[in-house]
Amino acid sequence: MQTLTLGPSGTYSHRAAQSVSDDIAFTESVTDIVQAVANDEFDRGVIPIENSIEGSVTESLDSLAEYDIAVVKEIITPIRHALMARTGDFETVASHAQALAQCRGYLEEHYPDVELEAVASTARGVERAREDDSVAAIAHPDNAGDLETLATDIQDQTSNATRFLAIAGADERSPAGGKTSIVIYPNSDYPGLLLELLQPFAERDINLSRLESRPSGERLGDYVFHVDFQAGLYEDRTQAALEEIESLAENGWVRRLGSYDTEHVVSD
């Protein structure tokens, strides 16, 4: 079973993917991963979805709202960043935008004058540092190889953690799993709309674990809501809640991403 994730080899997504698969392929965009799984080109995908310091990976949320896939597992891993380069005398730090943001305080304090270069992934940043003396990278310390490790544990909070989602084709949506993700596009706007959309969960004692809004892309001020809750997708109470939500969102749509269990990868 081949799993597509964010590459090249050595990214945090790669490490998360290794906890669910030993046959891994790489691409350099989250949208490509979701699209390839939706088109049955790969059996599985692993994408980063949310970080404890920086919040949502918006490209992931937007592609989950767009393509028909099933979320089959969530993987939570600690994230500890290292700074690596050919020499300590660099002008640019290259990494994934989320990694740069997770180390913002460290960089401002120790390297206030460096330029930040956002690249497709942390491991791509390491490749930049390997080919150019004036570039340092922020990545998992195992990527250093022949580069010098200039500092470790440089994330602004020691408890830095990221949630990744393992995704599969829509036909693999499973009744197992105690947590469910859905996306709601109400395509309407009136006082109390959000309250009404969430009421069906409260009435059935279903605990929400996450609520995010993203621009719908249709017009300014129009949103898609990503909701995670602690109940299985095929439980009667969930089905009843979703029916009510669907009738409230009759001008828009409700996408069921699937229910799944959580795997905590404790070693970093």
Ligand X SMILES: O=C(O)C(=O)Cc1ccccc1
Judged by the rule CB under 6 A, the positions of this chain that interact with ligand X are 6, 11-13, 48, 51, 79, 96, 98-99, 121-123, 162
Q: Supply the minimum distance, in Å, between the C-beta of residue 104 and ligand X.
A: 13
Contacts of 113 (CB under 8 A, 6+ apart): none
Q: Supply the minimum distance, in Å, between the C-beta of residue 92 and ligand X.
A: 17
Nearer to ligand X, 14 or 226 (CB): 14
Alpha-carbon span 234 to 145, nearest angstrom = 47
The token duo for 151 is 């500092």
Nearer to ligand X, 123 or 227 (CB): 123
Nearer to ligand X, 121 or 259 (CB): 121
Nearer to ligand X, 51 or 259 (CB): 51
3-state DSSP assignment of residue 188: coil
Q: Supply the minimum distance, in Å, between the C-beta of residue 261 and ligand X.
A: 21
CA 208 → CA 52, 78, 201, 242, distances in Å?
17, 23, 8, 14
Alpha-carbon span 10 to 144, nearest angstrom = 10
Nearer to ligand X, 151 or 206 (CB): 151
Q: Supply the minimum distance, in Å, between the C-beta of residue 80 and ligand X.
A: 10
Q: Supply the minimum distance, in Å, between the C-beta of residue 96 and ligand X.
A: 3
Contacts of 70 (CB under 8 A, 6+ apart): 167, 168, 169, 170, 171, 172, 173, 174, 257, 258
